[in-house]
Structure formats: C-alpha cells, structure tokens
Amino acid sequence: MKSALIIGAGPFGIHIARRMSQLNCEIMAVDSDEERINAILPLVTNSQIGDSTNEDFMSSLGIPDFDVCIVTISDSFQDSLETTALLKELGARKVIARAKNDVQEKFLLRNGADETVYPEKLTAIRLATKAASDDILDVFQLDSDVNIYEVRVPETWHNKTIAELDIRKKHHLNIIAIRTSDQLVVPMPDMVLTTNYTILVIGSIKDIGRTF
C-alpha cells in the first residue's frame, strides 16, 4: 500500500485522491482553505489545513515518510514552485507537480520536481487526435511522438487475420490488444479482425495519421 501527500485540494486534487483511494492508497491532503479540505476529506486518510510554503508546517508532516508527494496547486504558481522546492529540501522521495504551461513545467523540473503533469495539454492532445479522425477513439500519450491509440478496425481489414494484414511491416504499427464486444484480448497472428472490434495500437502519430 503506497502513501501519498496531495498538496492542493481543488478539483484536480480531488480527482487524484478519488482514484488513489480506489487503489487502496493512504492519502494525506493539505490545503490552506478549510472548505476545500472538507470537500476532499471523505476520500483521504488524513488532512491538514496549512501553508505548504511554510517550512515548520511542512516539516511536521513527516515528508520523507510518503512514497510520493503530488503538488496540485493551480491558483498560485509561486506557491507551487516554493512548495515543490521545499518538499525536496525536506527529503521527499518523489515529487510530482502540476504545470499549466511549458514554462512552468521547466521551472518545476529545475526546482525539485521529479515529474510534472500538464492536464490541459494532455486533454488538448486527446481531443485534437480524436477530432482529426472518425476512426481514432482515444489516445494514451507515452511521449511527444509514440503513443497508444484505440482505433476502429478499418473496412479494408475486415475478416483478415493479423498475420495476413502484416500491420507492423506495412504500417509500422504494433497491435497490443483487441477489444471485442465484451473483453480485451491479447492479439494472436491467426486472429481474424472484424469491424465490430476496436484495436489498441502503438506507434508514431505520423504512421497513425497515414493509416487511419
């Protein structure tokens, strides 16, 4: 069971807390606003009202005891930056910080963040990718180029086996899973694809664009 410190109990922090609680994590939430703490309280193990830029307050939380510290502050980048740096100074094992743009992302990484999350950018990428093609249903970003895409099986692939289509050689894409009507299955070379299925493929955005 992992332990997490979530700093910032706004909507983004609440979404993280909800999912982590479903995964049986121990969670402490910190925010300077009592109303936000009251809102997140049902989802967390413990909570504290306080200033995350105050060294004495943060020291009292036992920062090194948490497996991960997640900074979700969105209304003050200065507070987010100071909090991120302070967490590292206090011995945080891993710090993940929210960024709202590329500049913030760079500063957070330079000042102690091990990893950043950029929700608006991820949402925009997913929306743009799905809007660009009727056959692309979703995208799961891995890096700036190679991603996992869920796509409809094209008409030209209907009733053909994976081996027969030779997708890796012809399109430079790899099928990693197939979603039938009721389950997700591991692809086998002799499996016949139909337009009732969707497939999860990994590849570059350039190859996806040319294929779908």
Q: Are residue 110 and residue 129 in the same domain, yes or no?
A: no
Which of 70, 98, 117 terminates a domain? The answer is: 117
| Of the residues 117, 148, 166, the one at which a domain ends | 117
Letter for the amino acid at 105?
A: E
Query: Residue 210: phi, psi to the nearest 5?
Result: -75, -25
Q: Are strands 95-98 and 115-117 parallel, antiparallel or unpaired?
A: parallel
Do residues 131 and 111 both lie within one domain?
no
User: H helices then E strands: how many in the chain?
Assistant: 9, 13
Q: What is the CATH number of the domain that holds 149?
A: 3.30.70.1450
Domain's final residue, options 93, 117, 141: 117
Output the domain CATH number for residue 105: 3.40.50.720
Q: Is 10's pLDDT higher than 90?
A: yes
109 with 166, same domain: the answer is no
CB 11 within 8 A of CB 26: no
152/108 same-domain check: no
Query: What are the structure tokens assigned to 62, written together?
Result: 């036992």
How many CB atoms lie under 10 A from the CB of residue 142? 10
What stretch of H or E contains 95? strand 95-98
Per-residue model confidence as pLDDT tens digits over 54-109: 999 999 999 999 999 999 998 899 999 999 999 999 999 999 999 998 899 999 99
Question: So what's the pLDDT on residue 182?
Answer: 79
Residues 6+ apart with CB under 8 A from 182: none
83 and 11 in a common domain: yes
Task: Give dist(CA 40, CA 10) in Å, integer.
Answer: 8
Q: Residue 4 is which amino acid?
A: A
> What are the structure tokens assigned to 69, written together?
């510290």
The reply to whether 72 and 111 lie within a common domain is: yes
Residues of the domain holding 42? 3-117
Q: How many CA atoms lie within 13 A of 55 on its CB side?
A: 6
pLDDT digits (tens, 9 = 90+) for 157-182: 999 999 999 999 999 999 999 998 87
Q: Which two tokens stand for residue 81?
A: 């930056």
Element (H, E) at 4: strand 3-7
Regarding whether 99 and 37 lie in a shared domain, the answer is yes
Q: Is 51 helix (H, G, I), strand (E, B) or coil?
A: coil
Pairing state between β 46-49 and 68-71: unpaired
Co-location of 62 and 148 in the same domain? no
Total domains present in the chain: 2
- Rounded (5°) CA angle 97-102-107: 55
- pLDDT tens for residues 92-101? 999 999 999 8
Check whether residue 43 and residue 67 sit in a common domain: yes
Entry pTM: 0.72
Residues 97 and 176 in one domain: no
Angstrom distance (rounded) from CA 140 to CA 127: 11
